[in-house]
Structure 1
Amino acid sequence: MTLSAELNEKLSRVGPGTSCGDLMRRYWHPIAANAELTQQSTKRVRILGEDLVLYEDRSGRLGLLEEPCAHRRVSLFYGIPEQAGLRCPYHGWMYDATGQCVEQPAEPPASNFKDKVKILAYPVQEMGGLIWAYLGPAPAPLLPRYDEFVWEDAVRSIAAAVLPINWLQAMENSLDATHVEWLHGYYGGYVQAVENGREFDGTSSASGRRHHVRIGFDVWERGILKRRIEEGGSEADDDWRVGHTVVFPYMLGNPTLQIRVPIDDTHTWHIWYTATRPGVPVPPQDPVPFIEMPWRHENGEVITNFVDGQDIMAWVTQGEIARRDLERLGQSDVGIILFRQVLQEQIERVERGDDPMNVLRDPAKNAVIELPRERVHHGNRRQLERAYGRHDSDDGSNGRDAARAGGRLMPSESRELLRRLRQEAASRGIGPIDSPDFEIVPIRAVTADLA
């Protein structure tokens, strides 16, 4: 499915009034880690092409307002958090979390001018150490309580990076099953050889995979489930039997949640979110440890000696918005084609006035939303355990080394806490908690035999 330039624009652009922007505004988006408000009570937020200010007032309530004050257009990023709102530093106008102006100190006491002034404001909620916002029409749907965000007794960590790409490039990568053989296997082996000063002999890296002989993709109520059979494998393997979750519209699941938040048409806030249940009680993490993920060398080139850096290289070098009208897709690209079809279908649902897929409004279905999780990933449980931070060789090395070994960047506070709790669990003969198996109900499915 080579897209026309016109359709590529429709599926990519997310600003106000665009087709995909209208779709994306039907979902809650993470806009900050709660740790980011510990040093300063305001944060600039750009999301879906809108410039906003997130703040926490002195009572602990969160608010999200358009950045300029309605009076003289001064930035509210410099505003002063008060007991019940945010005060502009220029003339003291104060706004509550609904955007209503509630004080204008320089106006006469009897004036009702403030009652006529209201700026744009959006609802926000905190969940799992992230702050989420909804920018769409009322009534807002429920904020989905996906398992890792709400599990009890889980060690959590958050890493993030601003990438100069359109959000769709990162999401399509999650539907590209076979890239792991070459990007993370063959190319990863080449990078390791160069880094270690040896001649590349064609050996894949530790992140390499066996050749894919069959791939499949099931559309279900939460998104798309990605399945694969590699050489020597079968349908009994978790990679096919359980599958790998892509949560519509912007998240890849298991073992680390990857969330692709559209900042605007050409920038994405990419989040790596990890929650691990060691099997013993976990003390509160308030705030959840957060770190900016390094992905560039000092010369500006992408760091490619770890899996996520290799993905970033592929996304960034496609350009700010990939030229899908110039692509040549083959049989192994059925997952990418399917995701584009689903995305177009959901845009059309919104255009008809309907809710798109995976919008939740029934509280009974939102207590804890469990997602499918493989226990054995690419035929290797140890890789999955390393990614969860469970492996004995997790020695506190820096994030890039841990990632190259199959894990993800994790702040040192979470790493140390997880190590201590894992040792406690081992001393008591307790293993990490696995998610239960469950069957999805597919809406439709596509497969491709690649042997």
Structure 2
Amino acid sequence: MNAQENDFITRVAKDAPAGNLLRMYWQPIALVDELDMKRAVKAVRAFGQEYVLFKNDAGYGLLDRNCPHRGADLAFGRLEEGGLRCTFHGWMFDQQGGCVETPAEPAGSKLCSRVRQPSYPVVERSGIIFAYLGEGKPPALPPIDAFTADPAYTFAFKGLIECNWLQALEVGIDPCHASFLHRFFEDENPDDSFGKQFRDVSANSEIPITKVLREFEQPDIATQSTDFGFRIDTTRQLDAQTAHVRVTNLFFPNAFVIPMSPTVTITQWHLPVDDYNTYWFAIFTSYEEPMDKATMRAQRLELYSLPDYRSRRDRSNDYGFDADEQAASTYTGMGHDINVHDQWAVESQGRIQDRTKEHLGTSDKCIFVYRKLLIRSIKQAQAGERPIMTGLDLSEMDLPASIDVVVPKDGWQDNWRVAEQDRKARAPWQLADA
């Protein structure tokens, strides 16, 4: 890949090909928790552009951040019943960007009717506020489990990564890195694994996932094109009779769906803040018990600081690296939180990875497949065609399945599906809809 090709798939400004493609899809822009109920107004930066998000009795609104009068910052505006009022001269804007008041103007002025602030569609799903930042009518939201599950069975969070969105996404669709980057030399009690990735056992098994990843580091990887992107089947033959199967998904354009435990999946998006920074947004979906949201949030706030959701382990302190820990406890020496491992891996590649210097191998199959799909989709958008999912009848969509399970080796392709379908069928929120 040359430098121009790397720019083609990484840059996200409004005039950049990849940025234009990503704007054709709903993107997460904030957690519901971030809107202070005393003053539900928040500045948002996405794709290198500035917005202001607000909520009143009429619902959510997302506008360009600078007032169209004289450019003052609407993120410091007054939230009132009629909308968001600029504190410079009192101009007020509703959720649709309509100018509803210009109080300093003479009586009978029609200036309001000639002014409109750019606005964007906004919806709330499972604790995350999504926005459509592209042109024209937005596509339908897909009926994935993370959106359709009862809210009591979901939990949302986010975190800042100081690098380009693409390398942040690619770590999540790389099946091999977990055997190394997330390798632990000791296995925890699964009873203490709540809310922790790779710390539980696989479904239908008593084998800790950490043991599987540590002892079987050369998996077989297969990809299958789907309505939403592609599925990744990663298999590790445990013995003559059984196989460990991990099913994950690339959810186009900038998300993936992965299993966290036998009963919880994670759907994670990667929002480009700009070319050099990314927020990951995740919805954790439970198929068994309601989410203990307070515990999940408290666990994550041990690492992430508010209000920016920055990691307390970062470049400034070498991600908490400890040489003694690396020798005896973890492969990285950076603690037991895999988010720290992932952040180090992608930030250490540079703010934008220089892909002209990389050497991909057979185990990087998913990276090849994704980049090919991304480039094809960017070119389709440039040609005025509909890229993947934007023109799909989502009511008939092949929904992403995701599970980590031990099954009989013979017929594993069918066996994991049976386990996944059984888990979903038994989900309390699924039974309530039946």
TM-score interval for Structure 1 and Structure 2 normalised by the shorter chain: 0.7 to 0.9
Residue from 327, 334, 337 that aligns with 2:358: 327
Structure 1 counterpart of 2:222, one-letter code: G
Decide which of 102, 105, 109 is 1:104's aligned counterpart: 102
> Contact between 2:155 and 2:285, CA under 8 Å: does it hold in 1?
yes
Moved more, 369-378 or 304-313: 369-378
Partner of 1:248: 252
Cα pair distance change 1:307/1:75, threshold 3 Å: same
> RMSD across aligned C-alpha pairs, in angstroms?
3.1
Q: Which residue number corresponds to residue 435 of structure 1?
A: 424
Alpha-carbon distance, 1:143 to partner: 2.1
Displacement of 1:156? 2.1
Find the aligned partners of 1:208 and 1:69 in 2 and give their Cα distance. Answer: 55
Q: Which runs of 5+ in 1 are unaligned?
A: 193-203, 380-431, 438-451
Q: Please say if residues 162 and 278 of structure 2, whose CA atoms lie closer than 8 Å, have aligned partners that are also in contact.
A: yes
CA displacement at 1:236 relative to structure 2: 7.3
Task: Identify the range of structure 1 (66-75 vs 254-263) with the bigger mean alpha-carbon deviation.
Answer: 254-263
The 5-angstrom pairing of residues 56-135 of structure 1 reads: 56-57=55-56, 59-135=57-133
Runs (5+) with no aligned partner, structure 2:
189-208, 259-264, 305-310, 321-333, 409-420, 427-434
Map 1:229-268 → 2, pairs under 5 A: 229-232=235-238, 237=243, 239=245, 243-254=247-258, 255-268=265-278
Do structure 1's residue 300 and structure 2's residue 317 form an aligned pair? yes
Contact 2:31/2:157 (8 A) holds in 1 = no
Flag the 1:275–1:283 CA change in 2: closer, same or farther, 3 A.
closer
Matched, 1:374 2:403: yes
Cα deviation, residue 251, structure 1: 1.3
Shift in CA distance, 258/142, structure 1 to aligned 2, threshold 3 Å: same
Which residue of the partner structure matches residue 198 of structure 1? none
For 2:271 and 2:177, the matched residues in 1 are separated by: 22
The number of residues matched between the two structures is 361
Q: Matched residues in 2 for 1:128 and 1:172: separation?
A: 24
Paired residue secondary structure (2:423): coil
Specify the code of the residue in structure 1 equivalent to 2:276: T
Pick from 229, 233, 238 the counterpart of residue 227 of structure 1.
233
2:114, 2:133 → 1: CA distance? Answer: 23
TM-score, normalization: structure 1? 0.73
1:145 maps to what in 2?
143
| Aligned position for 2:192 | none
| d(CA) in 1 for partners of 2:407, 2:68 | 55
1:169 and 1:152 map into 2 onto residues whose CA distance is 32
Match among 330, 349, 357 for residue 318 of structure 1:
349
The aligned counterpart of 1:392 is none
Q: By how many angstroms is 1:378 displaced?
A: 10
1:400 is aligned to none
Q: 1:143·1:360 contact (CA, 8 Å) conserved in 2?
A: no
Question: How big is the shift at 1:19?
Answer: 0.3
For residue 144 of structure 1, report the CA deviation from its aligned partner.
2.2
In the aligned structure 1, how far is the partner of 2:353 from the partner of 2:236? 29
Alpha-carbon distance change, 361 to 224 in structure 1, aligned in 2, over 3 angstroms: closer
Q: 1:46/1:8 Cα in 2 relative to 1: closer, same or farther (>3 Å)?
A: same
Cα distance in structure 2, aligned partners of 1:283 and 1:181: 28
The alpha-carbon deviation at position 213 of structure 1 amounts to 4.1
| Cα pair distance change 1:284/1:38, threshold 3 Å | farther
Equivalent pair of 2:31/2:158 in contact (CA under 8 Å): no
For 1:248, the aligned partner's letter is F
Structure 1 residues 378 and 110: alpha-carbon distance in aligned structure 2, compared to 1, 3 A threshold: farther
Q: Report deviation, 1:124.
A: 0.5
Q: What fraction of aligned residue pairs are identical, expressed as a percent?
A: 29
For residue 234 of structure 1, report the CA deviation from its aligned partner: 8.2
Matched AA of 1:267? N
C-alpha change, 1:326 and 1:436, in structure 2 (3 Å) is farther
Displacement, 1:205?
5.9
| Alpha-carbon distance between aligned partners in 2 of 1:235 and 1:99, rounded to the nearest angstrom | 62
The CA distance in 1 between the partners of 2:3 and 2:366, in whole Å, is 20
Is the partner of 2:141 in helix, strand or coil? coil
Whole-Å separation in 1 of the counterparts to 2:170 and 2:383: 25
Kept in 2, the 8 Å contact 1:211–1:231? The answer is no
Match for 2:257: what amino acid?
Answer: G
Displacement of 1:31? 0.7
Moved beyond 4 Å, runs of 4+: 204-207, 233-238, 282-286, 288-293
